């Protein structure tokens, strides 16, 4: 029997799609890293994964569905969950 996969946002199971505004912001950030910062694909993938985990956490734990809803308390909560993991 397989054990459930715990995601970076602390939840268990498959990742749910992000709300449109968060998904668009994440895609724009990825484009910025690739096109304007000219970072390697490995670095872009790592940054993308970290921000995806932050946005998943913000949505699941604070009900945030747009980038303007992100605040310092949400970031601190996500960092604490990363530290615990």
Spell out the domain ranges in the chain. 20-76
How many CB atoms are located within 10 Å of the residue 3 CB? Answer: 6
pLDDT tens track for 28-66? 999 999 999 999 999 999 999 999 999 999 999 999 999
Q: Which residues contact 33 (CB under 8 A, 6 or more apart)?
A: 39, 43, 44, 47, 48
How high is the pLDDT of residue 22?
Answer: 96
Distance between the two ends of the chain, CA-based, in angstroms?
23
How high is the pLDDT of residue 38?
Answer: 93
């Amino acid at each position: 029997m397989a054990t459930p996969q715990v995601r970076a946002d602390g939840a268990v199971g498959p990742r749910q799609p992000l709300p449109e505004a968060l998904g668009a912001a994440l895609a724009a950030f990825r484009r910025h890293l690739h096109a304007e910062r000219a970072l390697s694909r490995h670095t872009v993938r790592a940054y993308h994964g970290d921000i995806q985990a932050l946005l998943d956490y913000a949505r699941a734990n604070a009900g945030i569905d747009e980038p303007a809803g992100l605040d310092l308390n949400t970031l601190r909560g996500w960092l604490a969950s990363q530290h615990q993991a």
